[in-house]
Chain A
Amino acid sequence: MAYSKKVVEKFENTLNEPEKNSVGRWDPSDLDIGTGMVGAPACGDVMRLQIKCKPEKNSHVISDVKFKTYGCGSAIASSSELVDMLIGKTLEEAREIKNKDIANALDLPPIKIHCSVLAEDSIHKAIEDYESKL
């Protein structure tokens, strides 16, 4: 199966310049950090997404994001794509991001849609974790 150009580009950028592409981790116990880990090694995909948030007006804004992903090229590209969408968004806006947005942005083939679903799950889990600390 050939990958879409966008997946290859995203994957390679993430691989070759991890720091520029928000690869990393924070201490998950920090109060301004929300961590979402989804997937399972048995399925071949694990994503860990961390959002750094700060209160702003009536909401909370995602000021920075870090992630690490174990999985196929599409899974890695999907998390990396999600990160680009998240920075600067309020939690409400972030919740509105759908897997379709990621799949469309990367031209994911049907067999790789689960990668974008996993990415969507990771943001929900991360927000849940952050809000549980408030």
Chain B
Amino acid sequence: MNTKRLFAILTASALLVGTLAGCGGSEDASTSESGGETGTVKDVQVWATGSDNVRQTFEKLVSDFNANSEYVGTYEAKLNFILSGTGGGTLADQLVAAYKAGQTDTEFDVVDLGDDDLTKILSLTDESVLEDLDMSKIPNAEGVTAEPVAAKGKIQPYRGTTVILAYNSETVPEDEVPTTMDELVEWIKAHPGRFAYNTPGTGGAGDSFVRTSIYNFIDDDSALMSSDPKWMEQWDEGFAFLKELHPYMYKSGSSVVYPNKNQGTLDLLTQGEIDMCPNWADMVLSQRKAGTVPEKIKITTIEPSFTGSVQGIAVPSYSGNKEGGFAFIDYLLSPEAQTILVQDMAAIPLVTEGVDLTGAEELMSMDVSNFRTQALGDLVTDLNARWDEEIGTLG
């Protein structure tokens, strides 16, 4: 009875989503008709995808570009946003389709791409899908050292986020805040039950802690970017290390517990049940700004660092307005745009000069060029399964 009703609801919502996706499609078509040149001001079609907070930030960026940037009067940006998970073709699919159809003059002037989308597009096409970045047209990119996971020279990183160490500044005095992994381990052992990381596979922070803990024992830095099963043989030392840490983790009712989800450990931290945990920089900072995480919670980075990711933006080779695309990329790296990214998304800025870091001062000291990125591919599944078997069951 219940399942039947559930399916009825599912069917109804699927139909609704279908209808909405249909509307979205026709809207796109109308913009492309009205687009193109309007006098001397040329349109730049900006494409982005993600959740609703990304849409809000992009709307701000686009309207700021059109109102205040140095390109006012030359270009007018138009936002095309694809909300993730609403059916229809994803942005990556559309880009691949346009490439395979051999189009040359499209409305895809400049596109925002995360690691996943970028890898997907490159796996279905080749690097010629993206235009080489013309650095002379992106003067603001000078001094940006962060690098994309792939297609270097074709995609420009413009913001980042990383897993950091979040701690309670009231219980952890400043001189005790760890700066290296070794110091962190020392601190954990000296303060049993005051540290927690979330179950890997339920949130990126726990994933990052477990993966870096294991790969810190592998000398080859490229291992973190490889899905080659040969690295599995070298996991033993890392797992032994996690096992050694296990008895010092957060306890509830005399048994060690790993909470689910990033929010699980963050809640323990804000409730004062633990003093330290790995978490996402943007998650902690945006919740601190909203007031759900108290001011006493601070963030810091350690050496070797946890992993993070950079978000990039690129001009497809079949863009109808490449110059405009580069202009928008240049704008994204301006202090004004970076300020919007910091204030709205708690993103880690790639340009710090002239950027207003109020409320997120800790970001200042974070060096994005030091981000470790990771791409373990299918190995993640085996790694999580092994963690569940060997660590999760220790009790």
* A, B: real partners: no
Chain B interface (Cβ < 8 Å from any Cβ of A): none
